[in-house]
Amino acid sequence: MTDHTPGVLQIFPFIAYLAPLTSAALLIGLWSVGDVRPRMLAGLAGWFAIAGYCQFFWGSALVAAVGLLAQTALAVYLLIRWRLGYY
């Protein structure tokens, strides 16, 4: 009997990095144009750091999925904030 480990073909292997890269780019962009106050920036950066830690460095797949969901929610929030111009 042989040990066959099923491999999963990832169609879009970069998709897990899309939300964190979008969040980071928008955080830097909004900060550089002065659209985010320092206290808000600290909160958003903390959200980014915690979600990134959960997504990439936690051992559980469930926590990694929650981290990805949090990164996606942050990216959506920052996109809406940027496009609608909330200051």
Q: Given a cut of 80, is residue 85 above it in pLDDT?
A: no
Interval 9-61: pLDDT, tens:
666 677 778 888 999 999 998 889 888 888 999 999 999 999 999 988 888 88
Q: What is the pTM of this model?
A: 0.76
61 Cβ partners below 8 Å, 6+ apart?
none
**Dihedral, CA atoms, 5, 7, 8, 14, nearest 10 degrees?**
120
11 against 83, higher pLDDT: 83
Q: Given a cut of 60, is residue 1 above it in pLDDT?
A: no
